[in-house]
Amino acid sequence: MSRIGKQEISIPAGVKVSQSGLTLTVVGPKGTLTKNFRDDITITVGDKVINLNIKRNDKFSKSLWGTYAAHIKNMIAGVQTPYSKKLILEGVGFKSEVKGKEFHFALGFSHPVIVKIPETITATADKNNITITGIDKELVGSFTAAIRALKKPEPYKGKGMRYGDEVIRRKQGKKTV
């Protein structure tokens, strides 16, 4: 049994949740989020609470139960306060800047790396600190991970792109005799 799935999800004031078929729409002061869910879980939307129940008693449905509850909680939290992730770019000559709706990176390659920013995400780059914000937690996390994957931090000098709260385990270099 899912402990998260069994709990009722409360709908705060200022947030409207509506359901049409398998699609759940959450509207709040910061924006609107919609998500399609499978029919393995029944989602009942009340006035102030949302309840989730499983249809079949199999392992797959039980695993989706808590996952869907977490998705709905993240959607409700996202339309109230946007999610934010920070990246730090370290290294000599590494630069990042936002031009319009694109990131322009100088990451030590022979060419500049250009990444398009999704429409629902706002991004800022001042010096070597990158901040990515948006109401969709999943999109913010996946876009930040895609940006970080362009130049992962290396363990010897710590050069590369890392999360703001990430600690890089440093390795010892070659010893001279």
Q: What is the CATH number of the domain that holds 38?
A: 3.90.930.12
Q: Which domain-ending residue is among 80, 111, 127?
A: 80
Both tokens assigned to 172: 């010892």
**How many whole angstroms separate alpha carbon 147 and alpha carbon 127?**
16
Share of the chain above pLDDT 70, in %: 98
Q: Which pair of tokens denotes residue 31?
A: 């924006």
Domain boundary among the residues 52, 80, 108 is at 80
Last residue of a domain, one of 62, 80, 98: 80
Distance CA 90, CA 152 (A): 10
Tokens 């899912």 -> residue: 2
Q: Which of 3-7, 92-96, 160-164 has the lowest mean pLDDT?
A: 3-7
Q: Which domain holds residue 30?
A: 3-80
Helix (H) or strand (E) holding 69: helix 59-80
The residue among 122, 111, 124 whose CA lies nearest residue 150 is 111
Angle between helix axes 137-148 and 59-80 (nearest 10 degrees) is 90
Q: Locate all alpha helices (DSSP H) within 104-166, ordered by sequence.
A: 137-148
* Cross-strand partners of 88: 129, 162
In the predicted structure, residue 103 carries a pLDDT above the cut 80 = yes
Instruction: In whole angstroms, give the CA distance from residue 37 to residue 155.
Output: 41
Query: Given pLDDT bands bounded at 50, 70 and 90, which one contains residue 173?
Result: confident
| Residue 108, token pair as written in the block | 């030590």
Residue 174: predicted pLDDT: 84
Average pLDDT over residues 91-103: 92
Which has the higher per-residue pLDDT, 176 or 136?
Answer: 136
User: What pLDDT digit, counting tens, does each position of 157-170 carry?
Assistant: 889 999 999 899 99
pLDDT of residue 1: 56
Give dist(CA 10, CA 16) in Å, integer.
11
Same domain for 76 and 98, yes or no, is: no
Q: What is the pLDDT of residue 20?
A: 92
Q: What is the mean pLDDT of the chain?
A: 92
pTM of the model: 0.89
Q: Residue 5 pLDDT more than 90?
A: no
Number of domains in the chain: 2
What does the chain come to in residues? 177
